[in-house]
Chain A
Amino acid sequence: DGGITQSPKYLFRKEGQNVTLSCEQNLNHDAMYWYRQDPGQGLRLIYYSQIVNDFQKGDIAEGYSVSREKKESFPLTVTSAQKNPTAFYLCASTFRGPNNSPLHFGNGTRLTVT
């Protein structure tokens, strides 16, 4: 079955450490996205990528970095510069272009930094 896989489901890190969240899709989607979800704030866009080897900052990119070396993969690194990294992170993908294709989401990663 096609889908988006995020791993791990739960992640714990000490403050000051970088951590990388994995996102893999086998839907042949061009575009991939990282959202952050906090209580009462909905989903906010961190980074997105329309094609391989290209990505753009979203609304809250500070303290995060990404790479898009393969179409299937879009890992997110939460760096020590991110002041409030504890959150729920969702990866999504869709076909590129002006269409009504919905975003497909992974199951998310809950990151806790202490």
Chain B
Amino acid sequence: AQTVTQSQPEMSVQEAETVTLSCTYDTSESDYYLFWYKQPPSRQMILVIRQEAYKQQNATENRFSVNFQKAAKSFSLKISDSQLGDAAMYFCAYRSAHGGATNKLIFGTGTLLAVQP
């Protein structure tokens, strides 16, 4: 069974600085997708960024980028120029790409990010 591990329960960053959130996963599959979701105090789950395992290039979305290391099964999220609105719980998630699979997302336990003004 696949598992997702986020080893940092809480992180803190100064406004305008850069922070990296860690995520590792365990799978025997070669084809899959990885996601980072953000959950602000409103508790709405918001997709931040996604990565296809077959792509070597790291995904980037404005100030958000990932460092995807397939061999190491690592998928960290880098937030550049941190803003107060980035304060939230961040979840890393895994999804199998195999046909007939449940397509369910498997989540890590989350990292609570605080942004200091």
Q: For residues 76 through 91 of chain B, which have their beta carbon under 8 Å from a beta carbon of chain A? A: 91
> Binding site of B, secondary structure by majority: helix, strand, loop or mixed?
loop
Interface residues in chain B, defined as those with a beta carbon under 8 Å from any beta carbon in chain A: 9, 31, 33, 35, 42-45, 47, 50, 52, 91, 95-99, 101-105, 107-110
A-B contact count (CB 8 A): 56
Cα A58 to Cα B52 with chains together (Å)? 24
Residue of A nearest to B42 (CB): A107
User: Which residues of chain B have C-beta atoms less than 8 A from A98's C-beta?
Assistant: 31, 96-99, 101, 103
Selected from A42, A58, A100, A108, the residue in CB contact (under 8 A) with B104 is A58
CB-defined A-B contacts under 8 Å, sample of 29: A40-B9, A42-B91, A42-B107, A42-B108, A42-B109, A42-B110, A43-B107, A45-B104, A50-B102, A58-B104, A94-B103, A97-B99, A98-B31, A98-B96, A98-B97, A98-B99, A98-B103, A99-B97, A100-B33, A100-B50, A100-B95, A100-B97, A102-B35, A102-B47, A103-B45, A103-B105, A107-B43, A107-B44, A108-B43
